[in-house]
Chain A
Amino acid sequence: MPITTVLSPFRAWKFLFQNPVTVRDPLTERPGAPRYRGFHQNDAEKCVGCGTCETICQNGAIDMIDVGLAPKDGDSGLRPRIDYGRCCWCALCVDVCMTGSLSMSNAYTWTDANADAFRFTPGVDKKPWDNDQLGYRRPEGHALHGKDRVEMAELEPEARIGTFDEIVAGYDVARARLEADRCVECGLCVATCPAHMAIPQYIKAVRDGDYERGLALLYETNPFSQVCGRVCTHKCETACAAGHEGDPIAIRWLKRHITDQVPHKDYVRIVGKPKKAAKGEAKTIAVVGAGPAGLTAAYDLARQGHKVVVYEVRKHPGGMPRYGIPEYRLPYDILDADIDVIRAMGVEIKCETRVGSDITMDELKAKNDAVILAIGLHLGRSTRIPGSDHADVRKAVDLLRQVTDEDPVDVPKSLVVIGGGNVAMDIARTMARLQMKAYGEVAVTVTALEDKAHFLADPDEIRECGEEGIDIVDARGPQEVVIDADGRVEGLRTWRVQSIFDAQGRFAPSYDESDERIHPGDMVIEAIGQAAGVDMLGEGLTEALEWNRGRIQVDADGRTSESWLWAIGDCVKGPDVVHAVADGHRAAKSILAAFEGKGDEA
């Protein structure tokens, strides 16, 4: 070995006493170009933590991290952390950002002795370039994903007003794929959906054209997928990241598209057969009420091999989706298809059986290992204004039930509806169709306390009411049902509502009594609210149960103060199909845990 080889490493020691070659801030005099892709900026307020930047980053330079923000609907609370050891400043993250919160300054010099400092969270870790105006922004109007929702074909108002045919046609395959293509699979919607449906995954199934996988995914979390594909309140769409700079993805319609593409005969095969309980381990469960909450719980329990009997007072199962939602929004055969799947799991449904008289709660308790109360909100409330006890003053829920059961309905030539919620719109549009069939014209007036901007009805419902010739008169306080000398209803007298809520947002109506109107009508229909019919519980159980401000008190899983009884759905939570489905799952899980001895004994 030559001697130089031995001595060479020691030559490096001479550099120990020289100035370093690197300089602390070498290029301050040379600013970046105006649209230079320099260090990242993020408006942490605008950012919703969708993680699309993380997904698109080709270098794995972005991680979504917890920065201490509480998650909420439409915001994961996470924010992107960028590793400049990996970033190549390609700006794809900026181009794809769903809210436009992410941008790049034109700053490009940053020296630090700590290598870990170059992994930072823009907008959270304060930096000198945070407020720089120059740098790279996604050009106005440009987006990597489509901003506009693919249109859905609907029946025109003239074509639909004379029939109960379904209004919305549903996407064809080509349109559904186009719409599914807009989804960036961020998953913000999943947290907002009460049933936590696998939304990005089933939308991917639409893109892939794999409808059987899509259907299997739907029924993992929602046995009322066909129903929810049509009438879900689709709060998921309000959380959709695409909605920040365009239309939210049509999640509800894509769900419907999957169910439309799979023949009903294949549903049970795809969903799969229920488990068989081990010998002696099958329990019996009674469910009171065959609406979405009760039947979802029944479905889950039956799939685990237990024997479930559902008691339903009406002629047909389905609860409010059948007896409260008109066929032009939800055809009965669609509802029946979902119920057929539930029945195929072994659930027995006994219709026209009134709990409280045909069979008592005490009997149900004695014969079953657990009982679920899912009785909905089927009693209509009345304004109780003068004249409201007249035979031609009807409650919306009663009339809708008559129409569903095809019982004869006296259709008035003109009528007035009181209420601004979805039930008011449903009865107004139902009666308008019956009027069109009977008389060839529509004469329906909807009056509500709220002004239109504060109606509780879905905006689509309000718009479609207008299209169908229904007159909506907002901010009117009902005072009296006017009855003529012959005892016939003549109309509704109202005062203009000046304000409905006080400064704290509480109900405190004030009226302008000088602005009085009579809305003509041969019938007045009240659609102001609903209540649960709890008389069927009987006095003993009513006294035994704990109550919470008029509703049965339940824990987070729906269990009441009586360990054998669960109460779920609209009767304890208020009206909404998908919340009812979620409630059904929770109760079933709680009952299964109780059976396994993980919770209190049922």
Chain B
Amino acid sequence: MSKGHDRLKVLTTVGEVFAVAIEFERTARDFYVALAPKVSKSIRYLVEELAEEEQNHFDLFTAMAARADMAGVLAAEIQRPASDRKFSDCVHLPDLGEHPDDQAVLQYALMREHAAMEQYRALADETPAGSLRDLFAYLANEETKHKNELEAVYYDTVHSGGV
């Protein structure tokens, strides 16, 4: 079976969700790490902060997946949410051009955070009450917090005090 077919399956396992999530964070981290030297030093802080944040998420998800008490949880089958396609697509890296500016970087980061937030929220909604739902709700909350922080940075940067 092709990977595409797997993605279109209605049911997935928590383990698969986690694998995509870990890949999602890894590709983002690597993307920002590779981008940092290409952007002007004036906005490099932004890309470095994004890389650091993605690394934190990567570490968090990897540690969760490796926990002994997660084995049962990871094997559990859950409904694949409608947002899954969009979430998986984010693993593919965009072309922001040779020298993207701060607004382009922020818009890309916001899109990613939004996709992740929607994915985990949908998973939490479709999972019966219990530790698994709490886990997805926690992940959704993490992504929401990061998205909110990015939105604040976006306003300060792009609206520059609303002059």
Contact = CB atoms under 8 A, between A and B. Distances in A.
Interface of A: 377, 381-382, 384, 419-423, 450, 456, 502, 506-509, 528-531, 534, 542-543, 545, 547, 549-552, 574-575
Interface string B103-124: 1000100000000000000000
Contacts of A549: 45
B36 interface: no
B160 A507 contact: no
B42 A528 contact: no
Contacts of B159: 381, 507, 528-529
A395 to B, nearest CB: 12
A534 B41 CA distance: 11
Interface string B131-163: 000000000000000001101101111111111
Nearest to A507: B155
Contacts of A508: 148, 151-152
Given A381-B159, A550-B43, 15 more contacts: A381-B158, A384-B107, A420-B162, A421-B162, A422-B163, A456-B162, A506-B149, A528-B159, A542-B41, A542-B42, A547-B45, A550-B45, A550-B157, A551-B42, A575-B161
Contacts of B103: 381-382, 384
16 contacts: A377-B160, A377-B163, A381-B160, A384-B103, A421-B163, A423-B163, A456-B163, A507-B151, A508-B148, A528-B162, A529-B158, A529-B159, A534-B42, A547-B45, A552-B42, A575-B161
Nearest to A324: B163
Contacts of A377: 160, 163
Contacts of B44: 547
Interface of B: 40-46, 102-103, 107, 148-149, 151-152, 154-163
Contacts of A534: 40, 42
Contacts of B158: 381, 528-529
A534 B42 CA distance: 9
A179 B102 CA distance: 48
Nearest to B101: A531
A575 B162 CA distance: 10
A502 B148 contact: yes
- Interface SS of chain B: helix
A551 B40 CA distance: 12
Contact of B154 (A382, A507, A542, A552): A507
A381 B155 CA distance: 11
A10 B63 CA distance: 99
Nearest to A537: B42
Contacts of A545: 41
A547 B148 contact: no
A552 B45 CA distance: 12
Contacts of B151: 506-509
A534 B107 CA distance: 21
Given A549-B45, A550-B46, A574 B160 contact: yes
Contacts of B41: 542-543, 545, 547
Please give me the 10 A-B residue pairs with the lowest Cβ-Cβ distance, nearest first.
A507-B155, A529-B160, A456-B162, A506-B152, A529-B159, A421-B162, A575-B163, A421-B163, A507-B152, A574-B161
A283 B74 CA distance: 72
Contacts of B149: 506
A161 B81 CA distance: 57
B102 A550 contact: yes
B140 to A, nearest CB: 15
A528 B149 CA distance: 20
Nearest to B40: A542
A506 B160 contact: no
Contacts of A529: 158-163
A456 B161 contact: yes
A179 B84 CA distance: 68
Contact of A550 (B42, B152, B163): B42
Contacts of A382: 103
